[in-house]
């Protein structure tokens, strides 16, 4: 009698997460023994359960049997490729077939590689390691392409991508979405007096302060452009947005960075505009891919600056200072 899945081999190394999907528990156990040194292993005995586990916590590699009751390995692979969060996860299909047509169908579904049955340990480990290395390289390249080189925050491209995704996610989940736009007050004067090297150092310190205010993995801090930053806050209402905006203003003030041309404090400060919306109740947020939310936060930023800078503002206040 096979031991329960909880007692199957798990890991010697937790750097990677591997998901094994096969309706045959004995086959899963064999593969688990072969792959136990590559990372944390999770198991599913059906294609449906495999997809559920992958969506709950995206793995670094999926190994899936080609033929299973319900969803086949090819269907699991296609479903993974159709999910934006899982599209880059490599998938190795395990099959006993040798026909070219099977491989063609697998690659058409998005498979990264194949393993023949019965599996040979050295081949399984070599192919899995290759896919894990390729995944790590791809992740590093994607992260570099979406990261601001000066501050280490997300760049504008990443922000725009996440804004669109979060607007749609908030609409489907009937949730609130909040956005902050942050501008460094009198930053041109700072550069003129202290030089661009000091200006870059100032932006890095402010970015670190903003990052320190972010508490949840889903929240995104980005460099929006020049001396402007943005913070995207899923599942956050107006009260939460207002509180985060004030926290960031206070965090930058606590840096106590000298700015001789900033009156009256002679310290670096930021102005923050905030906005929150329910995309399911405000169709314009989704239709404009979040641009209407950006416009509302920008009006709040204008209000904060018009009221004296170094403070927060919301769109409704902009009219009072027009």
* pLDDT top residue among 15 and 270: 270
Instruction: Tell me if 150 is assigned to some domain.
Output: no
pLDDT band at 307 (very low <50, low <70, confident <90, very high): very high
Q: Using pLDDT thresholds of 50, 70 and 90, give the confidence band for residue 249.
A: very high
In this structure, of 15-19, 205-209, 288-292, the range with the lowest mean pLDDT score is 288-292
pLDDT band at 289 (very low <50, low <70, confident <90, very high): low
Give the domain-ending residue among 98, 125, 145: 145
Domain boundary among 83, 117, 145: 145
Could you report the per-residue pLDDT of 124-134, keeping only the tens digit for each?
999 999 999 99
Range 281-307 average pLDDT: 85
Rounded mean pLDDT of 9-26? 76
**How far apart are alpha carbons 246 and 182 in whole angstroms?**
11
pLDDT for position 287: 64
Domain end among 145, 176, 209: 145
In this structure, what CATH number is given to the domain that contains residue 113?
Answer: 3.40.50.2300
Q: What is the CATH number of the domain that holds 291?
A: 3.30.70.270
Name the residue range of residue 57's domain. Answer: 5-145
Residues 99, 185, single domain; the answer is: no
Same domain, 165 and 204: yes
- What pLDDT is recorded for position 84? 87
Same structural domain, 179 and 267: yes
The verdict on residue 187 lying in a domain is yes
**Tell me: the pLDDT tens digits for 70-113?**
999 999 999 999 998 899 999 999 999 989 999 999 999 999 99
Residue 319 in this model has a pLDDT that exceeds 60? no
* Statement to judge: residues 81 and 164 lie in one domain: no
Q: Which residue has the tokens 């030089």?
A: 195
pLDDT of residue 142: 86
pLDDT at 145 exceeding the cut of 80: yes
Residue 119 in any domain: the answer is yes
Q: What is the pLDDT of residues 146-195, one digit of tens each?
A: 999 999 999 999 999 999 999 988 988 999 999 999 999 999 999 999 99
User: Mean per-residue pLDDT for 190-209?
Assistant: 97
135 SS3 class: helix
- Write down the pTM of the prediction: 0.68
Q: Which helix (H) or strand (E) holds 12?
A: none
Catalytic residues: 227
CB 307 within 8 A of CB 321: yes
Q: Is the pLDDT of residue 9 over 50?
A: no
For residue 320, pLDDT over 70 is answered with no
User: Residue 286: pLDDT above 90?
Assistant: no
* Residues ≥6 apart with Cβ < 8 Å to 285: 167, 171, 177, 277, 279, 292, 293
Q: What is the torsion angle, in degrees rounded to the nearest 10, for the CA atoms of residue 242, residue 284, residue 288 and residue 275? A: -10
Q: Give residue 12's pLDDT band: very low, low, confident or very high (50, 70, 90).
A: very low
Mean per-residue pLDDT, 59-69: 96
pLDDT higher than threshold 80 for residue 318 = no
Alpha helices in 36-155 (DSSP H): 47-56, 73-82, 100-109, 121-145
CA 10/CA 26 separation, integer angstroms: 15
CA–CA distances in Å: residue 288 to residues 168, 224, 257, 279, 293: 11, 18, 38, 11, 9
């Amino acid at each position: 009698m096979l031991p329960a899945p909880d007692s199957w081999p798990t890991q010697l190394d937790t750097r990677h997460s591997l998901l094994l999907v096969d309706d045959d528990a004995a086959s899963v156990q064999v593969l688990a023994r072969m792959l136990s040194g590559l990372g944390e292993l999770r198991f599913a005995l059906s294609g449906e359960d495999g997809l559920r586990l992958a969506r709950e916590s995206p793995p670094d590699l999926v190994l899936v049997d080609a033929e299973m009751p319900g969803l086949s390995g090819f269907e699991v692979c296609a479903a993974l490729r159709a999910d934006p969060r899982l599209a880059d996860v490599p998938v190795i299909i395990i099959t006993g077939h040798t026909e070219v047509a099977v491989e063609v169908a697998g690659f058409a579904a998005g498979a990264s590689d194949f393993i023949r049955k019965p599996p040979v340990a050295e081949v399984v480990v070599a192919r899995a390691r290759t896919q894990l290395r390729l995944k790590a390289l791809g992740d590093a390249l994607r992260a570099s392409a979406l990261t601001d080189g000066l501050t280490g925050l997300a760049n504008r491209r990443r922000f725009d991508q996440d804004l669109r995704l979060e607007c749609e996610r908030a609409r489907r989940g009937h949730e609130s979405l909040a956005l902050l736009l942050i501008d460094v007050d009198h930053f041109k004067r700072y550069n003129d007096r202290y030089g661009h090297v000091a200006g870059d150092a100032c932006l890095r310190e402010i970015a670190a302060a903003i990052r320190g205010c972010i508490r949840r993995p889903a929240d995104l801090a980005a460099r929006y452009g020049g001396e402007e930053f943005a913070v995207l806050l899923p599942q956050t209402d107006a009260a939460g947005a207002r509180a985060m905006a004030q926290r960031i203003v206070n965090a930058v003030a606590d840096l106590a960075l000298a700015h001789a041309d900033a009156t009256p404090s002679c310290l670096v400060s930021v102005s923050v505009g905030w906005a929150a919306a329910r995309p399911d109740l405000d169709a314009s947020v989704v239709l404009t891919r979040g641009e209407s939310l950006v416009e509302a936060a920008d009006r709040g930023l204008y209000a904060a600056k018009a009221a004296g800078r170094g403070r927060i503002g919301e769109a409704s206040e902009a009219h009072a200072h027009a």
